[in-house]
Chain A
Amino acid sequence: MDKYTDEELVELTKTGDDESFGILTRRHVDHIYNFVRQYSYIKEDADDITQDTFLKAWKHIKSFKTGKKFTTWLFTIARNSALDHIKKRKAFSFSDMDSFGSESRTSSSSDGDKPSFAETLKDPELLSPEIFERKELSKELNGAMETLHPDWRAVLIMHYTDEMTFEEIAAVLTRPMNTVKSWHRRSLQKIRETLMLHHNDR
């Protein structure tokens, strides 16, 4: 059963084979948990959101369209569940969320010779090797991630730990690809600045 792709397992689940869904759950539970833990930043919520995500996926498995990518669909459910939990806790001001995308929407690469906003941002820089030798790197990184907007964190987690493309991430976050790329660059800049600040303080 482990040799089946996610999409094949989904088709088997639709016919009533619950074991296939069990395999899908075991395959993706760590990725989803990591994603929601980083997104919501509250450990107690992460357990509930992860459980919620897989329960919703099981209930609505018949609505999954053949030909689409299962991980994109699953991450979309996870993100929406996490967003609902955050809204309940009223941890963030959601008026800020729209403004994060606006600079990408005002100029796009289709506007003649004008570069898109993502293209005007500085390229991400290489991390200094000394950073990796620090014992408290994990703590510093978590601290730096905590200062980012949930969707910015989501971009980093999905791209670097789950190895999703920007196109897939844009589909999960229901944002244009330019917005996702600009969030990616800006969040890396912020992470790097925070880590370098800790490095220089020593």
Chain B
Amino acid sequence: MTDKIVLSTKQMKQEQSIENSYKILFQKTAYKKAPYYVLLNIENSILAAKTRHDTIRGTSYAVITCLTIAAFIPAFKSMLDAMVGSGFTSYFSMILTDGASMLGSWKELSMALIETLPVLSIMAVLALLIGSLYSMSKSIAYIRDFRALRTH
């Protein structure tokens, strides 16, 4: 039993020695370090790819901003027309002109205002407003990054 343990320890040491000798062989003789320009080329190619990516994204967001602003104007006009057509503006103007007497029938007035509110038009206008603000902020962020990359 003791002989077997001694043998396996000896065998392990021999295997370790073989492993080490080949490790020395490959690490000392076969190892090839990268020339200095390889790292430079990698950094430049990543910078170029990032610039390209930011340019495309920035341009896309700028286009979306322009389109949403352009769509906002007719959408807002349509919302105002819908408010006039449904009678919302009439009810609303009653509050401004004759507010004191309207307090007595505030429940009926509130219901009338809610019923005549052009919900879809308002949602469309809000969506375009939020969309244009979001795409504008993204576009500005990409332009800022692009400028930072250029000066870097």
Which chain A residues have a beta carbon within 8 Å of chain B's beta carbons?
Answer: 18, 21-22, 25-26, 29-30, 32-34, 37-38, 46-47, 50-51, 54-55, 58-59, 124-127, 131-132, 137-138, 141-142, 145, 156-157, 160-161, 188
Q: Across the interface, do B45 and A34 meet the contact criterion of CB distance under 8 Å?
A: no
Q: Across the interface, do B42 and A33 meet the contact criterion of CB distance under 8 Å?
A: no
Knowing A33-B34, A38-B30, A50-B34, the reply to whether A127 touches B41 (Cβ < 8 A) is: no
0/1 per residue, B1-30, Cβ < 8 Å to A?
000000000000010011001111111011
Q: Across the interface, do B25 and A50 meet the contact criterion of CB distance under 8 Å?
A: no
Which residue, B14, B17, B31, B41, has most C-beta atoms of chain A within 10 A?
Answer: B31
**Count of A-B contacts judged by CB separation below 8 Å:** 86
Q: Across the interface, do B21 and A54 meet the contact criterion of CB distance under 8 Å?
A: no
In the complex, whether B43 has a CB less than 8 A from a CB of chain A is yes
Q: Across the interface, do A25 and B33 meet the contact criterion of CB distance under 8 Å?
A: no
Q: Across the interface, do A126 and B21 meet the contact criterion of CB distance under 8 Å?
A: yes
Chain A proximity of B119: nearest CB distance (Å):
39
Given A34-B31, A54-B45, 10 extra CB contacts under 8 A: A21-B46, A32-B34, A33-B34, A34-B33, A50-B42, A59-B49, A126-B14, A127-B22, A137-B25, A160-B22
In the complex, whether B39 has a CB less than 8 A from a CB of chain A is yes
**8 nearest interchain CB pairs?**
A33-B34, A160-B26, A138-B29, A54-B42, A37-B32, A127-B21, A34-B32, A160-B23
- Contact partner of B22 (CB less than 8 A), chosen from A22, A25, A26, A188, is A188
